[in-house]
Amino acid sequence: MIGIGVGLASIAGVRAFLPLALVGLFARFGFFGLPEPFGPLGDWLVIGVLLALALLETVLDKAPAFEKGLNVALVPIRAVAGAVLFSVALGAGLGVDAVPELVVGGIIAGALAVLKVLLRPPAKAASAGVSASFLSTFEDVVALVAGVVAVLVPLVSLVFVAFLLFFFFRVRRRRGRQYAGLRILRD
């Protein structure tokens, strides 16, 4: 269960609402139970609201004018989402006994959210063969696939998140150079 918690908290560092919606769906279909007071997370209305917020986050992230500000503003929300997901995966719930789980999940998701803000290349920088909308779409795919994998095969989702951060680092470094083109494996 710790693997599921770490995986889900790491995905929350990349996208805030999608992993919460996925956990609600998995709980609704009986993959695992939700501890109290997180029971409403498996309600269809809550899942729908989370999916709508995930869609809004996805659409706003594609607009270069909102991209940087949105990512900075969502750092605390992603940290809280990671704390909730870590606590849900371990069945801790909320309360005095669950403080360590909430802190660990918040630290994991918060650190990854900050790394995402720092490593993701600015949307207005010169292109290195990768557009800002492609990076955002790539994030969405990684968050969706890794969220599903985090529940089914714990800790493998960390590989997805590590690759995403490595990809951001390489693109950012490449955009700072004189020559265009993405040479991700060569330098």
pTM above 0.85, yes or no: no
Cα distances (Å, whole numbers) of residue 115 to 56, 83, 111, 151: 22, 17, 6, 23
Q: Given a cut of 70, is residue 96 above it in pLDDT?
A: yes
* Each residue's pLDDT tens digit, 17-31: 888 888 889 888 888
End-to-end CA distance of the chain: 39
Residue 15 near residue 154, CB atoms below 8 Å: no
**pLDDT tens column, 123-133:** 666 555 667 77
**In terms of C-beta distances under 8 Å and separation of at least 24 residues, what long-range contacts does 34-43 make, across chains too?**
34/88, 35/87, 35/88, 35/91, 35/92, 35/93, 36/93, 37/93, 37/94, 38/84, 38/87, 38/88, 38/93, 38/94, 41/88
How many Å apart are CA 155 and CA 149, to the nearest integer?
9
